[in-house]
Amino acid sequence: MPSSTRLLIASDHAGFDFKEKIKKAFPQIDWVDVGPHDTARVDYPDYADRVAQKVAANGERGVLICGSGQGMAMRANRYSGVRAALAWNEDSIRLAREHNDANILCFGARLVPLEMAKKLVEIFLSTKFEGGRHADRVEKLDKPCC
């Protein structure tokens, strides 16, 4: 991965320790940690918003971690231009990048072992969007539906 890689990252209280371990595992990444900064109880939508707003506005990429990953993904995907992928194994994130141009990686600290989480981050950063037949579908994802 390029040394100039920048990623937004956030968690809730359940994902805080995991978030810190992920940042430490990838010191070459320019992490923009938007919180929280301790294990005090917080509401995951508030932190998903912080990352999703920046991804939608600036075309950046991010990582969101909560207990299951589901809540973060659900909230982040409410933003136009955000394609948050809940990942649990190598294929889940590889396909999300190749076919869906995922720009936020979500996973659950209670469900994904740390070594797998590290692989998810590596694959998220190294896998390119295939475009082609997938481009029209991704364009549809970014249009409001309701």
Active-site residue list: 66, 99
Q: Edge-to-edge strands of the sheet including 104-108?
A: 30-33, 6-11, 62-66, 104-108, 84-86
Per-position b or e across 32-55, b if 16+ CB within 10 A of its CB: eebbbeeeeebebbebbbbbbebb
Tokens of 42: 């917080």
